[in-house]
Structure 1
Amino acid sequence: MKKKWWQKEIIYQIYPKSFFDSNQDGVGDIKGITQKLGYLKSLGITMIWICPIYKSPMADNGYDISDYYQLNPEFGKMKDLEELIGQAKEQGIKIVLDLVINHTSDEHPWFKDVLANPKTSKYRDYYVLKPGKNGQPPTNWRSVFGGSVWEPLKGTDEYYFHSFHVKQPDLNWENPQVRKELYEMVNYWLEKGIAGFRVDAITFIKKDQNYENIPADGVDGLGKCTKKTRNQPGIEDFLHELNRETFSKYDCVTIGEAPGVPYDQYSDYIGENGYFSMIFDFKYADLDVASGSEWFRRVDWSVQDLKKMIFTSQEEIQKVGWGANFLENHDQNRSISKYIKEEENRNFYSATMLGAMFINLRGTPFIYQGQELGMTNFERDSIEEFDDISSIDQYYRAIDEGFSAEEALHFMNLRSRDNSRTPFHWSAEENGGFSKAEPWLGMNNNFKTINAEQQEQDPNSILHFYKKIIEVRKSNESLIYGEFEPILEEHPTIIAYKRKLNGEEVVCYFNFSAEEQKVKVESSAYDVLLNNYKEVGRTEQELTLQPYQALLLSKKEAIHHE
């Protein structure tokens, strides 16, 4: 495939509320990001994706936008963003913003006009409004955040539709005027000089127009709306038009959040004439739960399960285009707490092994804030300590489904989106050096032992090893553009693969076990590119991998496995 500039980027995701608070009000802000550009530059990243900073009542922490053209005052002013874009550019760092165009806030002027004039508003058709049936909502679909997707529209017998929170009414993409207004807004931001967008919940923009009931799948008598509202036939017309009217006019990068897309449709999304530059694949991120939206249905998984999911994802994406690889994001729990099951094994070796495993896959790597320090999940004592609307819904749904309050709380501690949203640990000072004021969300109490300041000073820290991983990837074209080839597919605890380009080959081994593992090889002629241990255990025919060892070997001659 053609080489594109965004294939070699290293992207760092920032959750602005929790990154750094420059004005000491307990909430992170845009100036806070600008002040920490030196830290990001030294890590080696080349692009920042910032979660939504637009005007919002913050029901879903900014994913409910009330004005696409204004910034939320708690984050700062437009000049702050322009200053960040300019200063980042001087450091060789590009900026990507979130694009949320499936829904608005119910406090957006369009929807406020609908609420004020439900029968006559010129914006009625900007949203999905349907009459009820015999005093009941139009369908029995459950929203992603729980409860019916339908909310009564006061003063009428109609309901408005929300795939997500009740304060996030879905836009009616069937209306060409809505699409035109959205495209104008997208182009406005690209003209501002951002490098592109991460495109939120984009597979929800097309609904099944029959609006019929579906079989219930919970004790609430509702069925999951994704069966009728996600990746529906006809979405391709909207996505081609979106690309044609906006992205294709700029040399920008677009990263689609596209859950629910089967692999046989990936060519439409990321193929030669695909809608986006790359998309996230959530299958391996959600391997511990039966579905991304039902955390109380836990799934026991093995390293072999994880390996199969990663290998399938890599091979399917490789057939058609480019992927966006991630271990963590603002909707996920912390990776070391998820992928390393025993707490006693969550350490420098397992954290760096995980980082090296995913950064060297084929695709553009995304690092989520705090991942490079090995930040972990928290332990909350009560549902009152949670902010995340999804966690609160999941807690009460778990109880409705027959689990005890204690069990429900345990599921939330494991999986809550708040796990990744706790303020960043800058130092061992009060509130982790994030703010002098009480943070908007309770800290993870281990900031005194896991923080950036200590790790900056320790050459043997997780942070320093992340810098090494990034440096190695940047300086080796095989690890950027090389083909992905799985190896040791049947090994129960090792994930291993090759990256191959123009006769060059890098062999990558990752031991997901607390035990030594031996691997037979036919050649020992190689250079060590990366190793989270000081030594390599090897003989002519055999490699010995230490617990949670990450080892990248650059071949001098082919390394064959038995």
Structure 2
Amino acid sequence: MEKKWWQKEVIYQIYPKSFYDSNNDGIGDIKGITQKLDYLESLGITMIWICPIYQSPMADNGYDISDYYQLNPEFGDMKDLDELIERAKEKGIKIVLDLVINHTSDEHPWFQDLLKNPEDSKYRDYYILKSGQDGMPPTNWRSVFGGSVWEPLKNTNEYYFHSFGVKQPDLNWENKQVRNELYKMVNYWLKKGIAGFRVDAITFIKKDQNFDNLPADGADGLVKCTKKARNQAGIEEFLHELKEETFTKYDCVTIGEAPGVPYEQYGDFIGDNGYFSMIFDFRYADLDVASGSEWFKRVEWNVLDLKKLIFKSQTEIQKVGWGANFLENHDQNRSLSKYIKEEENRNFYSATMLGALFFYLRGTPFIYQGQEIGMTNFKRKSIEEFDDISSIDQYYRSMNEGFSAEEALHFINLRSRDNSRTPFHWNDQEYGGFSKVKPWLGMNDNYRSINVEQQEQDPNSILHFYKKIIQLRQKSECLIYGEIEPILEDHPTIVAYKRKYYAEEIVCYFNFSCDEQKVVLDDKFDVLLDNYKEDKQTVSEQEYFLKPYQALILLKQGESHHE
């Protein structure tokens, strides 16, 4: 694969509502991001992906857009965004926005017109409408956020389709006019000077046009809509057209959120002529649950399970294209709480080991806000404390499936998307320096001990180690472009791999346990990075004992270090 500019990027994901509140209304905003650009520059990142900032009633925190061309006033206005793009550019930082084109908000003018005038609205075919059957919805499909995908259109026998929340009606991609409207909007934003898009829920845009029932898979008598409304045959025509009408006209980067795509199809999505620059693979991120939308079906896993999923993903992506590597995001719980099971082991070593493990995989690395200081899950005492619509649905659905209220709350605390959406910890003052007033979502109590200000002053902090992780990758062509080769594949607690680029070979060892583990080195190596502060500059052919949660990055000696 020829080199592309976006392969070198280090992407930092911002959840704007929770990053930094510049005007003290309890809600993070665009000016807040601009004011923290120095921090992001010192971290070493080169690109920011901002979750949706468009006009929205915020039923799903901005993933329900009521106007694609306006910004939500709580985040700021277009002048604020222009200033952010400009100021970031001066620092060599690019901006990527979220692109949400599977659905709109039910408060979008198109849908509002349809509600007022269901028979004759010119936007009638912009959405998916079907007649009910004997007072029942058209099919027995369950939405991702629970309940039927069908919602009645008032005063009619018709229902509209929503893969996600009731306030997020799906657009009818079968309608060419809808597609043209969306392409026009995409080009508007690319002209504005953004570097590209993270493309939300894009595998949902094609539905099985038969709209038939399936055997139920839950106590609610419904069946997951993903079987009929995700990655369906024919989607390739839409994705190809989207790319041709928009992305290819600009040298932009596109990161697809593309769940449900089997590895055999990855070539279509991210190959040389793929629809996107890269896509996220969620298989390892969802290893603790039966599926991303059924948190109460917990899955026991061990390090070997995680390692197999990571390496399978890496090997399959390497065959055809480029990956987007992430530990956590706005739809996941905190990685330190998920991957490090014992609370007492969630410390500097495990956080830095995890960071380096994911950072040096082949692909473009993503850091989610707060990951670089080791932010963790919180624990809420009642369902009333949650904001996320998916968490609230999972809580009640767990109880419908026979679990107690205590068990249901436990599942939600483990997995809730609110875990990663708590306000960012800037310092140990009240509300973590995020705001001077009570934030929109409750803080994680540990902000007094886990925050940026303390870690900036401590050279042995997680934050400082993340800076080193980034610096090392950015000056090593091998760690950016090199092929990946898994090693020690059957070891129960060590994750290890080689990166190879021309004559250069870098070997990466990660001890995923709280016990020492022996490895045998087959050559003489220079130590590029070690999360234990040792003076050793080289290690030779010998038995080496990895300390608990040690990350060790080694360069095979006698080979040029591409810089």
Q: Taking structure 1 as the reference length, what is the TM-score of the superposition?
A: 0.98
Q: Which residue of 1 aligns with 2:37?
A: 37
Alignment check: 8 A CA contact 2:8 2:474 kept: yes
Q: What secondary structure does 1:52 align onto?
A: coil
Is residue 346 of structure 2 the alignment partner of residue 346 of structure 1?
A: yes
Q: What secondary structure does 1:387 align onto?
A: coil
Identity of aligned residues (%): 80
**Alpha-carbon separation, structure 1, partners of 2:421 and 2:212:** 37
AA aligned opposite 1:153: L
Give the alignment of 1:223-242 within 5 angstroms. 223-242=223-242
Alignment check: 8 A CA contact 1:151 1:159 kept: yes
**Alpha-carbon separation, structure 1, partners of 2:518 and 2:540:** 11
Alignment check: 8 A CA contact 2:332 2:416 kept: yes
Structure 1 residue 87, shift from structure 2 partner: 0.1
Q: Which residue of 2 aligns with 1:142?
A: 142
Q: Which residue of 2 aligns with 1:551?
A: 552
Q: Which residue of 1 aligns with 2:526?
A: 527
Q: Which residue of 2 aligns with 1:542?
A: 543
Q: Deviations over 1:142-195 (max 9, x none)?
A: 000000000000121000000000000000000000000000000000000000
Structure 1 residue 538, shift from structure 2 partner: 5.6
Is residue 73 of structure 2 the alignment partner of residue 65 of structure 1?
A: no
Q: Which residue of 2 aligns with 1:265?
A: 265
Structure 1 residue 294, shift from structure 2 partner: 0.3
AA aligned opposite 1:236: E
Alignment check: 8 A CA contact 1:10 1:45 kept: yes
Q: Which residue of 1 aligns with 2:319?
A: 319
Alignment check: 8 A CA contact 2:520 2:541 kept: no
**Alpha-carbon separation, structure 2, partners of 1:266 and 1:539:** 40
**Alpha-carbon separation, structure 2, partners of 1:522 and 1:110:** 65
Is residue 388 of structure 2 the alignment partner of residue 388 of structure 1?
A: yes
Q: Deviations over 1:260-282 (max 9, x none)?
A: 00000000000011000000000
Q: Deviations over 1:234-274 (max 9, x none)?
A: 00000000000000000000000000000000000000110
AA aligned opposite 1:39: Y
**Alpha-carbon separation, structure 2, partners of 1:211 and 1:479:** 47
AA aligned opposite 1:487: I
Q: Which residue of 1 aligns with 2:204?
A: 204
Q: Deviations over 1:305-350 (max 9, x none)?
A: 0000000000000000000000000000000000000001000000
**Alpha-carbon separation, structure 2, partners of 1:184 and 1:268:** 24
Q: Deviations over 1:10-67 (max 9, x none)?
A: 0000000000000000000000000000000000000000000000000000000000
AA aligned opposite 1:116: K
**Alpha-carbon separation, structure 2, partners of 1:541 and 1:215:** 58
Q: Which residue of 2 aligns with 1:103?
A: 103
Structure 1 residue 531, shift from structure 2 partner: 0.3
* Stretches (4+) displaced over 4 A: 536-539
Q: What secondary structure does 1:264 align onto?
A: helix
Q: Deviations over 1:64-122 (max 9, x none)?
A: 00000000000001000000000000000000000000000000000000000011101
Alignment check: 8 A CA contact 1:8 1:474 kept: yes
**Alpha-carbon separation, structure 2, partners of 1:115 and 1:529:** 62
**Alpha-carbon separation, structure 2, partners of 1:451 and 1:539:** 38
Q: Which residue of 1 aligns with 2:82?
A: 82
Give the alignment of 1:107-126 within 5 angstroms. 107-126=107-126
Structure 1 residue 454, shift from structure 2 partner: 0.3
Give the alignment of 1:262-411 within 5 angstroms. 262-411=262-411
Alignment check: 8 A CA contact 2:507 2:555 kept: yes
Q: What secondary structure does 2:97 align onto?
A: strand
Is residue 508 of structure 2 the alignment partner of residue 517 of structure 1?
A: no
Q: Deviations over 1:491-515 (max 9, x none)?
A: 1000000000011000000000000
AA aligned opposite 1:155: N
**Alpha-carbon separation, structure 2, partners of 1:437 and 1:253:** 37
Structure 1 residue 557, shift from structure 2 partner: 5.3
**Alpha-carbon separation, structure 2, partners of 1:16 and 1:26:** 12
Structure 1 residue 539, shift from structure 2 partner: 6.0
Structure 1 residue 222, shift from structure 2 partner: 0.2
Alignment check: 8 A CA contact 2:278 2:322 kept: yes
**Alpha-carbon separation, structure 2, partners of 1:491 and 1:82:** 50
AA aligned opposite 2:36: K
AA aligned opposite 1:337: S
**Alpha-carbon separation, structure 1, partners of 2:526 and 2:479:** 15
**Alpha-carbon separation, structure 2, partners of 1:383 and 1:453:** 32
Q: Which residue of 2 aligns with 1:493?
A: 493
Q: What secondary structure does 2:361 align onto?
A: coil
Q: What secondary structure does 2:355 align onto?
A: helix
AA aligned opposite 1:551: L
Alignment check: 8 A CA contact 1:483 1:500 kept: yes
Q: Give the paired residue count.
A: 557
Alignment check: 8 A CA contact 2:198 2:254 kept: yes
Q: Which runs of 5+ in 1 are unaligned?
A: none
- RMSD value, Cα: 0.9
**Alpha-carbon separation, structure 1, partners of 2:81 and 2:272:** 33
AA aligned opposite 2:32: G
Q: Which residue of 1 aligns with 2:445?
A: 445
**Alpha-carbon separation, structure 2, partners of 1:470 and 1:460:** 16
Q: Taking structure 2 as the reference length, what is the TM-score of the superposition?
A: 0.98
Alignment check: 8 A CA contact 1:538 1:544 kept: no
Alignment check: 8 A CA contact 2:284 2:306 kept: yes
**Alpha-carbon separation, structure 2, partners of 1:127 and 1:522:** 61
Alignment check: 8 A CA contact 2:465 2:531 kept: yes
**Alpha-carbon separation, structure 2, partners of 1:365 and 1:534:** 24
Alignment check: 8 A CA contact 1:231 1:261 kept: yes
**Alpha-carbon separation, structure 1, partners of 2:308 and 2:540:** 29
AA aligned opposite 2:92: G
**Alpha-carbon separation, structure 1, partners of 2:365 and 2:491:** 25
Q: Which residue of 1 aligns with 2:429?
A: 429
Alignment check: 8 A CA contact 1:118 1:155 kept: no
Q: Which residue of 2 aligns with 1:508?
A: 508
Q: Which residue of 2 aligns with 1:50?
A: 50
Structure 1 residue 522, shift from structure 2 partner: 2.4
**Alpha-carbon separation, structure 1, partners of 2:459 and 2:65:** 42
Q: Which runs of 5+ in 2 are unaligned?
A: none
Q: What secondary structure does 2:187 align onto?
A: helix
**Alpha-carbon separation, structure 1, partners of 2:474 and 2:224:** 42
